[in-house]
Amino acid sequence: MTAYLFEFIGTAMLILLGNGIVANVVLKGTKGSDAGWVGITIGWGVAVFVGVFVSADQSGAHLNPAVTLGFATAGKFEWNLVPGYLLAQFLGAMIGTTLVWLTYKKQYEITENQEGILNTFANTPAIRSPLWNFVTELIATFAFVLAIFYIAGGTMGDETISLGSLDALPVALLVLAIGISLGGPTGYAINPARDLGPRIMHAILPIKQKGSSHWYYAWIPVLGPIAGGLLAAVAYMQIGI
């Protein structure tokens, strides 16, 4: 149960700080509106650092279903632990984004930009193109998960691998690089829990003028990262190092 608890805590911290920087930039009446895209990518990188550092020694700091499923597919994580990890990740994301809403409650009340409000919870594409949005998420997550295998010190064999607290900075820099390099088309979800959990809360929470939760798009930041994570696992197994 300790591993599940810290997977929940780490994911909640990740989303609290990650969606928190987005809220600070896009909502009306904040002091962070000048930070822009670079500020958002740096903020998400730091959010990953904190989430991984807090949870790594207890849960391995997956914080992402694409990582959990990728590790399990490659034989580096026990399948019987997967359901509990996924549940902890989704619940953590839902709680983390709810804390962002509470923090910025007054700013949400005066913000009229419906897409901006949604972006503080979940992803929307810069150009709506379902196929290419899916491809973008797949490629970005493939790069992310493949790198995670080696940051975690993975070698071929049956042993389990996981992130340690010393891996927090490399993972944070990896997410920063992906955000700056590959994040423009879709906002780089690269994590099904990061998008779907907060999107559910966007639909539930009593937010003025929040508009649609864009459920037509929700499958892309779920299936794209899962596909990318699974392909990364296959590539890792084929490399054989």
Phi, psi for residue 104 in degrees, rounded to 5: -105, 30
Range of the domain at 210: 2-239
Residue 155 sits in a domain of what CATH number? 1.20.1080.10
Cα–Cα dist 45/13, whole Å: 12
Q: What is the DSSP string of 172-195?
A: HHHHHHHHHHH-TTT-----HHHH
Q: Is this prediction's pTM over 0.85? A: yes
| pLDDT tens-digit series, residues 25-34 | 999 999 998 8
Cα–Cα dist 14/39, whole Å: 16
Cα–Cα dist 11/152, whole Å: 18
Cα–Cα dist 14/63, whole Å: 8
* Radius of gyration for the alpha carbons in the chain, expressed in angstroms and rounded: 17
Q: How confident is the model at residue 216 (pLDDT cuts 50, 70, 90)?
A: very high
| pLDDT tens-digit series, residues 155-195 | 555 567 777 777 899 999 999 999 999 999 999 999 999 99
The amino acid that residue 167 corresponds to is: D
Contact at 8 Å (CB) between 198 and 221? no
Residue 29 is classified by DSSP as T
The rounded mean pLDDT for the chain is: 94
- Count of domains for the chain: 1
